[in-house]
Amino acid sequence: MGDIVVSLGWFLSALAFAIAMGATPGPNNTMLAASGANYGFRRTLPHFLGVSFGFPTMFLIVAFVGKSLLADPMVHGVMKWVGVGYLLWLAFSIATATPKAGGDGSAPARPLSFWQAALFQWINPKAWIIVAGAIATYTLPGSDSVMASLVLATILLGVSVMTSAGWTLIGVGVSRVLTVPRSLRFFNWTMAALLVASLIPIVLE
């Protein structure tokens, strides 16, 4: 491991990896955009903080004590299908949510809480892919692996805060442009479809 932690090349590579994984569409970002559109930024704040802090925490736990989980086919299979099932339910909830302008009361009462969003990372298939890739690429066995994991978790935290806030604000912006309930409902359907589409590579894996 040596000087990997202080290497500028290592840092820039890890940062690029975190941005590429965190900014691209996926379950977390799709759900945050939909929540921002339907509930606004303030009410979505616990959700996006749960994602921002929950994912780096998950990474550290797996990196320090749970690497065997990544190699266990049974654990991998159970987590994958539990995650797929939960995400399909969330996609249905997003698609059938009544936009806030509609006001008929059939929408969920509130977005995900901090703890719901944080715990969701453990059944988020994309989160497991990112964790596996980060551990395999940016940490190596040895005395410096702990420090490398801490630095990488800090990078993931910073990127997660920025990208989660960004996707939430995209949803908020959409709600201000699409003021007609029918248009916002179409946006919800689109987000639900993207959420389902994000599962296709996981299911076909």
Three-class SS of 18-56 = HHHHHHCCCHHHHHHHHHHHHHHHHHHHHHHHHHHHHHH
Identity of residue 161:
V
Predicted pLDDT of residue 104: 42
Handedness of CA 30, 25, 66, 5 (dihedral sign): negative
> Which of 20-24, 53-57, 77-81 is the least confident region?
77-81
Instruction: Provide mean pLDDT across the span 164-174.
Output: 92
Instruction: Provide mean pLDDT across the span 34-63.
Output: 92
CB of 160 closer than 8 Å to CB of 22: yes
Other residues' Cβ atoms within 10 Å of the Cβ of residue 131: 26
Other residues' Cβ atoms within 10 Å of the Cβ of residue 201: 11
Confidence of residue 140 (pLDDT cuts 50, 70, 90): low
Q: Which pTM value belongs to this model?
A: 0.78
Confidence of residue 156 (pLDDT cuts 50, 70, 90): very high
Confidence of residue 107 (pLDDT cuts 50, 70, 90): very low
Residue 90 pLDDT greater than 60, yes or no: yes
Farthest CA pair distance, the chain: 61
> Which of 51-60, 62-71, 98-107, 116-125 is the least confident region?
98-107
Instruction: Provide mean pLDDT across the span 170-174.
Output: 89
Closest C-alpha to 199, from 118, 86, 94, 95 = 86
Closest C-alpha to 143, from 3, 14, 7 = 3
- CB neighbours of 69 closer than 8 A, spacing ≥ 6? 62, 75, 76
Burial of 177-187, coded b for 16+ CB within 10 Å and e otherwise, reads ebeeeeebbeb
Confidence of residue 57 (pLDDT cuts 50, 70, 90): very high
Predicted pLDDT of residue 69: 66
